[in-house]
Amino acid sequence: MFKPHSSHTNLIENTCLIAMSLVLSFFFCEVIVRVFFPGPINPRFVRDSGFGIRVNQPNIRTHHSSPGEYQVAISTNSDGLRGTNEYNFTTPAGTRRVAILGDSFAFGYGCNDDQVVSAALDKYLNDRLVGGSKWEVLNFGVSGYGQSEELLLYRNRTRRYRPDFVVLFYFENDIGNNVVADTFALGRDGSTEPTGKSYLPGVAARQWMYAIPPVRWLFVHSQAWNLARNRLSGLVQQHLLHKAGLKDYNEGTSYGIALTRALLLQLQREVESDGAKFIVVIIPDNSTVTSNFPFTRVEWQTRGMAVADGRDFIDTNDYYARDGHWKPPAHRKAAQLLTSMIGEDVALHGSVLEK
């Protein structure tokens, strides 16, 4: 005699069918994207720092990829610094430190842990025993940063490691990032004033999604998922730009330029007041090898700002064509120049200023 399925059985069967349909649909979308619209997979593992900005999540082990260009291993240590080396706040005896500040260029998109500028600089300094000291190079780079976030990061985290040199990597979208972040504003005297605002775009949602293992897997492995995420992120960024009255992050408005100048000068003052040397590395535009760095050569020399101008040693072949970040040879070029600058400074001034 025919016996109808129970409603419970029907529910299970329908749920399985729906699940299978979703899996097959996703698999189909993934194949279509990989064949016709291949794109990068660069998951950004960031979290709320507790002082109003994003910082890298600690102890990350993941991969970044750009089809036809690179697939690299990405790591952070227990404090969110690029790489696996651990550092105490107290500098070991006979050791000097360099702190790297910057965005995804400084963090090293497109590079393995041992290829990024901080690793290359660490090797060059120690191979040459510059100043007769052992060296540690700490990479505080965070994707999407501008000087407004770098200043807060320096105040709340970087200076605790008591670096002897602080190297800031400047890219042309920093001007827009500083305006959009709105953590600092220009005072009447042209100095920086904290606004009291936080800048944590999408951090809470990203942390929540990363906590779900299947969703975290999609961020790390799926081109289709990352294509959708990047499109959504683009819409969010356009909203933030529109809110700030900008068309794109490279737009050099008079306010943005003045704010960026003030932030750079404030960073220089604070770094030097802590007894360290401040160096800026200019990252040129990847297509024109130009830069909107807000100081002329005469101005930065007059203000005593040490600058490694990438327009003098970087060319278009040093960039990934699709991804737009530096290839490993560009990181080595920057590290070689920084090694010379640091060596000259140590030879000229001996030990760093008393801290």
Q: Is residue 120 part of a domain?
A: yes
**Residues 203 and 284 placed together within one structural domain of the fold:** yes
Domain with residue 176: its CATH number is 3.40.50.1110
Q: Are 243 and 236 in contact (CB under 8 A)?
A: no
Q: Which two tokens stand for residue 40?
A: 């990068």
d(CA 37, CA 35) in angstroms, rounded, equals 6
β-sheet bridge partners, residue 48 = 54
Is there a single domain that holds both residue 24 and residue 91?
Answer: no
Residue-level pLDDT at 353 = 41
Domain shared by 177 and 158, yes or no: yes
Do 319 and 195 share a structural domain? yes
Rg value, the chain, Cα: 23
In whole angstroms, give the CA distance from residue 330 to residue 318: 5
Tell me the backbone φ, ψ of residue 39, rounded to 5 degrees.
Answer: -145, 170
pLDDT, tens digit, 9 for 90 and up, residues 141-193: 999 999 999 999 999 999 999 999 999 999 999 999 999 999 999 998 889 99
Please compute the mean of the pLDDT values over residues 207-214 and round it to a whole number.
90
151 within a domain of the structure (yes/no): yes
The answer to whether residues 317 and 247 belong to one domain is yes
Give how many domains the chain has, as a whole number.
Answer: 2
Per-residue confidence (pLDDT) for residue 6, from 0 to 100: 66
Predicted confidence (pLDDT) at residue 19 exceeds the cutoff of 70: no
Is residue 355 assigned to a domain? Answer: no
* Pair 72, 129: CB distance under 8 Å: no
Whether pTM > 0.75 for this model: the answer is: yes
- Domain check: are 186 and 152 in the same one? yes
Tell me, yes or no, whether 156 lies in a domain. Answer: yes
> Would residue 217 count as lying in a domain?
yes
327 lies in the same domain as 234: yes
pLDDT of the residue at 349: 79
Contact 62, 220 (CB under 8 A): yes
- Looking at residue 232, what is its pLDDT? 87
- The answer to whether residue 288 is domain-embedded is yes
Q: What does the alpha-carbon distance between residue 195 and residue 188 come to, in Å, rounded to a whole number?
A: 14
Helix axes 174-181, 254-273, angle to 10 degrees: 90
CA angle 36/38/43 to nearest 5° reads: 150
Residue 347 CB coordination number (10 Å)? 10
Amino acid at 319: Y
Q: What is the mean pLDDT of residues 84-108?
A: 97
Residue range(s) defining the domain that contains residue 139? 46-348
Is the pLDDT score of 355 beyond 50?
A: no
Q: Are residues 13 and 117 in the same domain?
A: no
> Do the domain assignments include residue 311?
yes
For 18, 65, 191, 216, 319, the CA distances from 308, given in Å and listed in that order, are 57, 29, 25, 38, 18
**pLDDT score of 23 more than 70:** no
Q: Is the pLDDT of residue 12 over 90?
A: no
Which of 81-85, 239-243, 292-296 is predicted least confidently?
A: 239-243
84 inside domain = yes
Nearest residue to 76 (alpha-carbon basis) of 28, 39, 116, 36: 116
Start-to-end C-alpha separation, the chain: 91
Q: Rounded CA gap, 249 and 178, in Å?
A: 9
Cα–Cα distance between 277 and 271 in angstroms, integer? 7
More confident residue, 92 or 20: 92
Do 24 and 138 lie in a common domain?
A: no
Strand 134-139 and strand 95-101: the pairing is parallel
Phi and psi angles of residue 76, each rounded to the nearest 5 degrees, phi first? -130, 155
Quick one: pLDDT at residue 1? 47
**Alpha carbons within 13 A on the beta-carbon side of 312:** 8
14/77 same-domain check: no
Residues 274 and 319 in one domain: yes
Q: Are 97 and 140 in contact (CB under 8 A)?
A: no
Q: Which of 120-124, 152-156, 322-326, 348-352 has the lowest mean pLDDT?
A: 348-352
pLDDT in the model for residue 20: 65
| 54 lies in the same domain as 126 | yes
Range 65-85 average pLDDT: 97
